[in-house]
Amino acid sequence: MSTATQTNVDSFRTETRDWLEANCPQSMRTPVKDFKDYFWGGVNPTFHSEDQKIWFERMKDKGWTVPRWPTELGGAGLSKVEYKVLKEEMDKLGCRTPLFSFGIHMLGPALLGFGNDEQKMKHLPAIAKGEVWWCQGYSEPGAGSDLANIQTSAEDKGDHYLVNGQKVWTSYADYADKIFCLVRTDKNAPKHSGISFLLIDMKAEGVSTRPIKLISGSSPFCETFFDNVKVPKENLVGVENEGWTIAKYLLTHERSMIGNVAKMDKTLDEYAVESIGLEGDLLADPVNRIKTAQWLIDEAAFNFTLERAMDEAKAGTPPGAKSSFFKYYGTEMNKRRFELMMSTGGFDNLVWGEEYDEGKTPRDFCRTKANSIEGGTSEVQLNIISKHILGLPKK
Ligand SMILES: Cc1cc2nc3c(=O)[nH]c(=O)nc-3n(C[C@H](O)[C@H](O)[C@H](O)COP(=O)(O)OP(=O)(O)OC[C@H]3O[C@@H](n4cnc5c(N)ncnc54)[C@H](O)[C@@H]3O)c2cc1C
C-alpha cells in the first residue's frame, strides 16, 4: 500500500472512531441478547428503545446500514478497506448492527447481481433505509435439503403469474412486508431448470401465514400459503426458469451470515471462571479447562481463516463454495460453545425462571441447534465441501 493510501486509511479510521464515539448511544454498545435488540425495519417499523431509533437514523443517514452499496442505492460506497476499518472500529466499541434484515444480507446481494435497473432502484434504497421487511420463501414441506424439489407453482397468465403452493419455516413471515420466493415456472423441465426467483407482496390477496411454535416457547417462523396469488411479471428477478443460479448465489451470502460466531458479553473463559472458579491461576475443573482452551484456540484459528477469506475476496475471489465451510464450522463451533456453557453453568442453567435471566442461556443453547439446520444443514454443507472444494467423487 502506498504511503498516500495508508494516510487516507489512517485518517478514515480516526474520523470513523471519533464519529462512532460521538454518535453510538451507550446502550447500543452492549451485546445483542434477543430478537428485540435488533431493528428489523419494515413499513410499520417497531423500535424497542429510543436509543435503537437514534442509532439506526444516524447510521442510515451516513449510508452505513449498507456501507459498501453505492450512494445512489442508499449505501456509503465504501471501499473494501474502508469497510473493514468501519467493522473493526464498530467491534472495538461493541456497536450493534443498526439494521438487521434479510434484505441486506440475502436479497440485496442477489438484486445487485441479477436485478434489472428498475428493480435495483425500487428495492435497494428501501432496504438500506429499513423501509421494508423481507422474508425468505425457499423451503417447502418436501423441499429442504433437496431445495430444487420446490413445488410452489407460478403459472404464466400474460401480464402476471398465478402463484399456488406452500412454504414452510419462513422466518418472521408474520411480520414481513414482502417475500422473495423460489417458484416453479416449468413443471416439465429437469428440477433445477424450471425454477424462477419471484418477489411477492405479503399483503397480496391469497397470501396467508401460520406461526409455528417451538420448544423454546417462541414462534420465529411460519408456514406461508399462496392461494391463487397474482404477481406482476415485473417482479421476476433475472430470467424465467433460471432462478436456481440466483438461489445458490443468495445462499452463499446467507451461509456467510449464519456462520459468523457472534461475540458475547463474556468470553468463554470468563464465563467458565465465573461459574467454576480458579485454583491458583488455572480453571478449577481440569476437564473443562482443556475443552475451554481448545475452543478458544479453534475460535482464533477460525477468525484468522475468515480474515484470510475476506482478503481473498478483496482481491477479487468470491467465497463461493467456501461459504459452506464457514457455515459448517462456525455453526458447529457455536453449538460447542453453548454445550460448554451449559456444562460449566451447572444447576443455574437448568432453570428457565425469571430470576435466571428468563432462562437465557438454556434458550440460547436450544437455539444454537437451529444454526446448523437453517440455511442448509451441516450434512449438506459437508456434501458441498466434499464435492466442490475437496473434489471427492460423488459416490
Ligand atoms: C431457525 C430456522 C430458520 C429458518 N428460516 C427459513 C426461512 O426464513 N426461509 C426458508 O425458506 N427456510 C428457512 N428454514 C428452513 C431450512 O432452510 C431447512 O430447515 C433446511 O434447509 C433443512 O431442510 P429440512 O428441514 O426440510 O430438513 P431435511 O432436508 O428433511 O433433512 C433432514 C435431515 O436429513 C439430512 N439430509 C437430508 N439430505 C441429505 C443428504 N443428501 N446427505 C446427508 N444428509 C442429508 C439433513 O442434514 C437433516 O439432518 C429455517 C430453518 C431453521 C431451523
Q: What percent of the chain is modeled with pLDDT above 90?
A: 75
Does the pLDDT at position 2 exceed 70? no
Our mutation pick for probing the ligand 1 site, out of 139, 168, 198, counting the most ligand atoms within 8 A of Cβ, is: 139
Looking at the domain assignment, is residue 115 inside a domain? no
**Do 53 and 163 reside in the same domain of the chain?**
no
* pLDDT for residue 353: 67
**Do 236 and 269 reside in the same domain of the chain?**
no
CA distance 164 to 179: 14
DSSP state of 266: S
Residue corresponding to grid cell 417451538: 214
Element (H, E) at 221: strand 221-232
* Band of pLDDT at residue 251, cut at 50, 70 and 90: very high
Domain with 191 in it: 134-241
CA distance 86 to 67: 9
What are the Cα distances from residue 100, in Å, to 36, 57, 105, 111, 179?
11, 13, 8, 17, 16
Looking at the domain assignment, is residue 121 inside a domain? no
Give the total residue count for the chain. 395
Q: What is the pLDDT of residues 79-95, one digit of tens each?
A: 988 998 999 999 999 99
Strands 236-237 and 195-201, by their bridges, are: antiparallel
Q: Using the mean position of ligand 1's atoms as its centre, give its distance from the Cα of residue 377 in Å.
A: 5
**Do 280 and 385 reside in the same domain of the chain?**
yes
DSSP state of 176: -
Q: What is the pLDDT of residues 210-234, one digit of tens each?
A: 999 876 667 889 999 999 999 999 9
Please check whether residue 226 is in contact with residue 165, taking contact to mean a CB–CB distance below 8 angstroms: yes
**Do 264 and 376 reside in the same domain of the chain?**
yes
CA distance 223 to 209: 6
Burial class (CB in 10 A: 0-12, 13-18, 19+), 363: middle
With a Cβ cut-off of 6 Å, ligand 1 is lined by 135-139, 144-145, 169-171, 221, 370, 373-377, 379-380, 383
**Number of structural domains the chain divides into:** 3
Q: What is the pLDDT of residues 88-116, one digit of tens each?
A: 999 999 999 999 999 999 999 999 999 99
Q: Whose CA is nearest to atom 12 of ligand 1?
A: 139
Give the residue-averaged pLDDT of 359-386. Answer: 90
Looking at the domain assignment, is residue 116 inside a domain? no
* pLDDT for residue 32: 82
Burial class (CB in 10 A: 0-12, 13-18, 19+), 74: buried
- pTM assigned to the model: 0.92
Tell me the CATH number at 195.
Answer: 2.40.110.10
* Band of pLDDT at residue 339, cut at 50, 70 and 90: very high
Q: What is the pLDDT of residues 255-307, one digit of tens each?
A: 888 888 777 778 899 989 998 999 999 999 999 999 999 999 999 999 899 88
**Do 272 and 371 reside in the same domain of the chain?**
yes
Q: Whose CA is nearest to atom 5 of ligand 1?
A: 171
Atom of ligand 1 nearest to the CA of 377: 47
Least confidently predicted of 119-123, 253-257, 295-299, 370-374: 253-257
